[in-house]
């Protein structure tokens, strides 16, 4: 993998969606045009009050929610105002998330105009049965329309999100989805298993007895099928759920996974800058009201202590397939990882971790249970 350690990403949160997906627990809502406009004005104000023009960013990521659900005029306003504070041309990567049905000529023209270099498209599946279940529909015809448009606007760096792990879904279904994606020049794929998060429509349905996800063993088989399929198509797995052609890894997301500094703007967004964590007000009305009075909204700010920093660092870095660079760990924490986390030797003996050429990582056959391995490693400093 590219060994450049990028720092200083800027994340911008757009908490609006055209409709709510039944599995989603993100910070999002369906809103009127008037509320969206007030929110964008507040975002621009936040950027100005925080003087982001004095900062140097390597990456910008506009996520949500669904940023493409903004009317084009409003998206242009946001990009225009931000372009006065951030030099988009100097970024190593500028990503925006989009819903397939929002991708049209006007939208892509706007992205070109403001040097947006990467598009992350939430497809999830083409399977009719699953599309009905999750209430998200993208036909193959629609997908081809989008790909032709991307070609026309010279956007070749795009990522596709897919989902797996549904009840009654088969490996053949997943293969069909992947075959469709691989009929294009896709450069990056993120694949997530269905997780039944609390307080979602799906978790309520499950409590009422509906079967929505397949069993763990089937999910694990699907996951390993996906890894094999993508490898055969020359895709490198660089994170537990993320795959790309060489050089097309998400540089912005690697800032999170390498546990480097990033700034965020928007309601509910988290920034971590030099071990200071700041979470902005999550209530959209509070966020808008404060900023319309030229005040920064309340945010929770805390300085992360050493244990918390190590916890987050290990948690994030072990999600990458290359794992933890032990020199970088030592440089950052002035300590050897083996001294700080004595459990590592037990996990090495059990084959759940590997220490090779200065990297500590989870072997591929255990990626599927990566979280439980990380929790075991961090047991002594669980915070």
Which residues contribute to the site for ligand SF4 (CB under 6 A)? 17, 20-21, 24, 26, 28, 64-66, 122
C-alpha to C-alpha distance for 23 and 206, rounded to whole angstroms:
11
* Residue from 176, 201, 254, 197 nearest 7 by CA: 254
Give the nearer residue to ligand SF4 in terms of CB position, either 83 or 131: 131
* Residue from 299, 311, 279 nearest 383 by CA: 311
C-alpha to C-alpha distance for 62 and 114, rounded to whole angstroms:
13
Q: How far is the CB of 7 from ligand SF4 (least distance, A)?
A: 27
Q: How far is the CB of 68 from ligand SF4 (least distance, A)?
A: 10
How far is the CA of 125 from the CAs of 63, 156, 309, 383, in angstroms?
20, 21, 37, 37
Cβ–Cβ < 8 Å for 23, 197: yes
C-alpha to C-alpha distance for 173 and 164, rounded to whole angstroms:
9
Give the nearer residue to ligand SF4 in terms of CB position, either 21 or 337: 21
Show the tokens assigned to 169: 């879904």
* Residue from 333, 222, 214, 263 nearest 53 by CA: 263
Give the nearer residue to ligand SF4 in terms of CB position, either 122 or 266: 122
C-alpha to C-alpha distance for 146 and 102, rounded to whole angstroms:
10
Q: How far is the CB of 101 from ligand SF4 (least distance, A)?
A: 11
Torsion sign (Cα): 98, 104, 110, 115: positive
Residue 234 backbone dihedrals phi, psi, to 5 degrees: 65, 20
Q: How far is the CB of 277 from ligand SF4 (least distance, A)?
A: 23
Q: How far is the CB of 136 from ligand SF4 (least distance, A)?
A: 7
For 107-123, letters b (16+ CB in 10 Å) and e give bbebbeebebbbbbbbb
Give the nearer residue to ligand SF4 in terms of CB position, either 17 or 116: 17
Tokens 């298993």 map to which residue? 193
Q: How far is the CB of 182 from ligand SF4 (least distance, A)?
A: 23
Give the nearer residue to ligand SF4 in terms of CB position, either 13 or 188: 13
Give the nearer residue to ligand SF4 in terms of CB position, either 23 or 262: 23
Q: How far is the CB of 111 from ligand SF4 (least distance, A)?
A: 19
Give the nearer residue to ligand SF4 in terms of CB position, either 124 or 157: 124
């Amino acid at each position: 993998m590219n060994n450049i350690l990028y720092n200083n990403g800027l994340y911008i949160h757009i908490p609006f969606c055209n409709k709510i997906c039944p599995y989603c627990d993100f910070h999002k809502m369906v809103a009127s045009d008037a509320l969206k406009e007030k929110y964008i004005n507040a975002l621009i104000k936040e950027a100005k009050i925080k003087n982001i023009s004095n900062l140097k960013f390597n990456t910008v990521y506009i996520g949500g929610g669904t940023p493409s659900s903004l009317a084009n005029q409003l998206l242009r306003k946001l990009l225009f105002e931000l372009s006065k504070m951030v030099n988009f041309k100097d970024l190593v990567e500028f990503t925006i998330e989009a819903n397939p049905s929002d991708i049209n000529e006007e939208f892509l023209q706007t992205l070109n105009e403001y040097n947006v270099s990467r598009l992350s498209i939430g497809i999830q599946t083409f399977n009719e049965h699953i599309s009905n279940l999750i209430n998200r529909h993208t036909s193959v015809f629609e997908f081809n329309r989008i790909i032709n448009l991307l070609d026309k606007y010279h956007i070749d760096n795009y990522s596709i999100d897919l989902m797996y792990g549904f009840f009654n879904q088969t490996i053949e279904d997943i293969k069909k989805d992947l075959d469709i994606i691989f009929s294009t020049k896709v450069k990056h794929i993120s694949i997530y298993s269905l997780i039944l998060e609390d307080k979602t429509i799906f978790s309520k349905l499950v409590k009422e007895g509906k079967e929505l996800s397949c069993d763990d063993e089937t999910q694990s088989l699907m996951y390993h099928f996906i890894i094999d399929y993508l490898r055969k198509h020359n895709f490198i797995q660089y994170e537990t759920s993320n795959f790309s052609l060489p050089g097309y890894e998400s540089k912005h997301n690697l800032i999170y996974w390498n546990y480097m500094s990033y700034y965020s703007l928007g309601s509910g967004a988290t920034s971590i800058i030099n071990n200071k964590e700041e979470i902005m007000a999550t209530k959209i009305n509070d966020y808008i009201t404060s900023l319309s009075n030229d005040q920064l909204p309340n945010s929770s700010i805390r300085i992360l202590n050493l244990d918390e920093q190590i916890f987050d660092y290990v948690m994030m870095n072990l999600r990458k397939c290359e794992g933890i660079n032990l020199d970088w760990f030592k440089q950052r924490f002035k300590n050897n990882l083996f001294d700080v986390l004595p459990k590592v030797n037990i996990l090495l003996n059990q084959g759940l971790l590997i220490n090779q050429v200065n990297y500590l990582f989870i072997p591929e056959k255990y990626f599927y249970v990566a979280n439980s391995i990380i929790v075991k490693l961090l047991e002594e400093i669980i915070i």
